[in-house]
Amino acid sequence: MTDAPAGRLPSLNALRMFEVAARHLSFRAAADELGLTQGAVAQQIRGLEAELGLRLFDRLPRTLALTGEGRVYVADVRRALAIIAGATQQLRPQPLSLTLSMTPSFASKWLIPRLPDFTARYPDLDLHLQATERLSSFQADGVDLAVRYGRPPFGQGLAVDLLFEQEIIAVCSPRLLQGIAPPRHAADLAGFTLLHDTNNFWPEFIERHLGGAAETSFRGISFSQTVHALEAAMAGQGIALANRFFVRRDIEEGRLRRLHDGTLRTRADFFLVRPRYRKSEAVDRVAAWMLEEVAKDIAAGLPPGPTGS
């Protein structure tokens, strides 16, 4: 088949209808896909055939069949339409994307409740969350920004910003204390179940704030993740220790209450970590938003305990 002279190319709209009709072998199905009438599609195909001077379809009683020329032509038309679609897509602004790594507890208790604000503010940014206890690699795992718990330095070539300090408070369901005085001393914990996570802050918290020995043993349940201990606490199953930034909303909305005024500061904090050499508008925007959200939490202060309420 010879190329059409420049300036005499068939209508792009007719070619698109031809490709769809050839794919379905039906003018009716092509019309449904394109949102047109069957007659409009058939008319465009007849016009294309008249312009080319040959038949592209054999009209059979219940279907269509491509002619030999039609089979050859549709293959070239599909390639041409794909090239046009690809070229057009490259001209359009591509959405910014970013992969953020964090622990499941951080994702569940801090980040996810704030996502509606984030997506409303940055609708053009695709955020991919990688929630794992494993230390993700910026290169091997394609991570752009990470929340890490510990103390710097975290490695050469990494930029580090303090996100928030580890401030541990004791929380439980308000139902747990109905008709019961909050514990003031270590002995008062005998009637409660202590909910532990892998950090195991209870011995230090008891020794520092409740006057008990670090090796004192109490009834408890252990969880592999902080978020599960907090879910158990909200269900009224015991008392949990957690970072105050993780539980502020739960306290404000009445799912948890602070049990004691004591706060435990640890030697490790939460940091935003990213490769220093990478320049990324998406990373800068997400990091700035997270730091802004933390600033709001810090300004709100610690929720009061029973003696401060």
Report pLDDT digits (tens) over 250-278: 999 999 999 888 899 988 899 999 998 88
Q: How far apart are CA 80 and CA 100, in angstroms?
A: 38
Query: Do 131 and 229 belong to one domain?
Result: yes
Q: By residue range, what is the domain housing residue 301?
A: 96-309
Helix orientation angle between 12-24 and 68-91, rounded to the nearest 10 degrees: 120
Give the pLDDT of residue 181. 80
Query: Do 269 and 180 belong to one domain?
Result: yes
How many folded domains does the chain comprise?
A: 2
Name the domain boundary from 70, 91, 112: 91
Which residues on neighbouring strands pair with residue 273, listed in sequence order? 146, 160
Amino acid at 211: G
Query: Do 52 and 134 belong to one domain?
Result: no
Residue 275 CB neighbour total at 10 angstroms: 18
Query: Do 60 and 111 belong to one domain?
Result: no
Question: In this structure, is residue 144 part of a structural domain?
Answer: yes
Question: In this structure, is residue 126 part of a structural domain?
Answer: yes
Query: Do 48 and 122 belong to one domain?
Result: no
Question: In this structure, is residue 209 part of a structural domain?
Answer: yes
Query: Do 127 and 69 belong to one domain?
Result: no
Query: Do 148 and 289 belong to one domain?
Result: yes
Residue 67 has pLDDT above 90, yes or no: yes
Question: In this structure, is residue 17 part of a structural domain?
Answer: yes
Q: Report, in angstroms and rounded to the nearest whole number, the Rg of the chain calculated over CA atoms.
A: 32
Residue 95 has pLDDT above 70, yes or no: no
Query: Do 261 and 213 belong to one domain?
Result: yes
Asked if 127 and 143 touch (Cβ cutoff 8 Å), the reply is no
Query: Do 36 and 172 belong to one domain?
Result: no
Q: How far apart are CA 248 and CA 104, in angstroms?
A: 17
Amino acid at 2: T
Q: 3-class SS at 305?
A: coil
Residue 215 has pLDDT above 70, yes or no: no
Query: Do 56 and 167 belong to one domain?
Result: no
Query: Quick one: what percent of the chain has pLDDT higher than 90?
Result: 54
Against a cut of 0.75, is the pTM above it? no
Question: In this structure, is residue 170 part of a structural domain?
Answer: yes
Give the pLDDT of residue 1. 46
